[in-house]
């Protein structure tokens, strides 16, 4: 039997990973999920929240102006 290879792997990040990577408080990330409807996945008994990196990047680009502003 031949196995399929995944061409573009999807990276799932925890709330804490996203908060650290993009310098936001973890509660801010949770608010995006619960109030703004940021796409997420839940896994495990506790329903831990996981987010796709590209979804987070798109959300931040739409809602926040990042970088140096004059």
- In this structure, whether the domain defined by 12-63 belongs to CATH 3.40.50 is answered with no
**Dmax of the chain from CA atoms?**
59
pLDDT digit string (tens) for 2-50? 565 555 667 899 999 999 999 999 999 999 999 988 999 998 888 899 9
Is the pLDDT at 69 greater than 60, yes or no?
no
- pTM check: above 0.85: no
CA distances to 2, 20, 39, 48, 66 from 34, in Å: 41, 19, 10, 13, 23
Please report the pLDDT score of residue 43 as a whole number: 87
């Amino acid at each position: 039997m031949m196995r399929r290879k995944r061409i573009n792997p999807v990276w799932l990040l925890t709330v804490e990973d996203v908060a650290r990577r993009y310098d936001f408080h973890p509660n801010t990330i949770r608010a995006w999920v619960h109030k703004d409807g940021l796409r997420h996945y839940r896994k495990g008994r506790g329903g831990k929240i996981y987010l796709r990196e590209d979804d987070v990047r798109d959300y931040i680009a739409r809602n926040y102006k990042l970088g140096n502003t004059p």
